[in-house]
Chain A
Amino acid sequence: MKNRENYRKERIDRCIKARSDDIYALSSYKEMWYLIFPRVVPIIGIAILAYFLPLYWKKVVITTCIFAMLAVSWDFLSSCGLLSLGQALFFGIGSYTAGCLNHYFHFPIYLTIPIATICGGFISTILLLPVIRLRGIYFAMVTLILPLMLARGIEATHVFGGNEGITGLSPFPNVWVELTFIIAGMWAALFALRRFISSDYGLIFVSIRDNDRATMASGINIYAFKAQALFIGSSICAFCGAFMTHLYMFTGIPVFTMEFSILPIAASAIGGIGTLAGPLLGAFILVPLSEILREFGSLRVVFYGLVLVVCVVALPEGIFHYLSRKYNEMERWVRLE
Chain B
Amino acid sequence: MFVYGLINSAVLALMALGFNLTFGISGIANFAYGAIYVVAGFITWAFINHLNLPYAVSAILTIIIIGIFGALVYKFIIKRIRGLVISEVIATFGISIILLELLRFIGLIGFKYSLPVFIDGSVEILGVYVDIQRLFIIGLGILVIISLYVFTHHTKTGLAFRGIAQEEHTSLSLGINPDRIASLSMGMGSALGAFAAIVILPLGTITVDSGYDVLINALSVCIVGGLGSTFGVIIASFIIGYTQTITAMYLAPHWTMIVSLFAILVILVIKPSGLLGHQKELEERV
Contacts and interface: CB of A to CB of B under 8 A. Distances in A.
Interface in B267-284: 268-269, 272, 282-284
A316 B81 contact: yes
Interface string B77-101: 1001100011101110111111001
B50 interface: no
A305 B265 contact: no
A319 to B, nearest CB: 16
A277 B93 CA distance: 24
B174 interface: no
Contacts of B264: 141-142, 145
Given A305-B95, A316-B81, A134 B102 contact: no
A230 B104 CA distance: 35
Contacts of A305: 93-98, 101
A308 interface: yes
Interface residues of B, number: 40
Given A135-B284, A305-B97, A156 B255 contact: yes
A156 B86 CA distance: 32
A138 B286 contact: no
B154 interface: no
Interface string A110-134: 0000000000000000000011011
B77 A138 contact: no
Contacts of B104: 298
A142 B268 contact: yes
B258 interface: yes
A302 to B, nearest CB: 5
Interface in B221-269: 223, 252, 254-255, 257-258, 261-262, 264-265, 268-269
Given A141-B219, A302-B98, A309-B95, A130 B269 contact: yes
B29 interface: yes
Contacts, number: 118
Nearest to B94: A308
Given A137-B85, A148-B216, A156 B268 contact: no
A184 to B, nearest CB: 30
B81 A313 contact: yes
Interface in A24-77: none
Interface residues of A, number: 45
A29 to B, nearest CB: 42
A302 B97 contact: yes
A152 B254 contact: yes
B90 A152 contact: no
B31 to A, nearest CB: 9
A141 B268 contact: yes
B97 A222 contact: no
A296 B106 CA distance: 11
B105 interface: yes
Given A146-B265, A299-B105, A305-B101, A138 B284 contact: yes
A78 interface: yes
Contacts of A299: 101-102, 105
B286 A212 contact: yes
B268 A138 contact: yes
A85 B86 CA distance: 10
Contact of B261 (A137, A140, A152, A312): A152
B258 A316 contact: no
Given A135-B286, A149-B261, A213-B286, A85 B254 contact: no
A155 interface: yes
A108 interface: no
Contacts of A175: none
A273 interface: yes
19 contacts: A83-B86, A134-B272, A135-B283, A136-B85, A141-B219, A145-B264, A145-B265, A152-B258, A156-B254, A216-B286, A297-B105, A298-B101, A299-B101, A302-B101, A305-B93, A305-B97, A312-B81, A313-B91, A316-B81
The 5 A-B pairs with the shortest beta carbon distances in the complex, nearest first, are: A305-B97, A308-B94, A305-B98, A301-B101, A309-B94
Given A136-B284, A138-B268, 9 more contacts: A145-B265, A146-B265, A148-B216, A297-B105, A298-B101, A298-B104, A306-B98, A308-B93, A309-B94
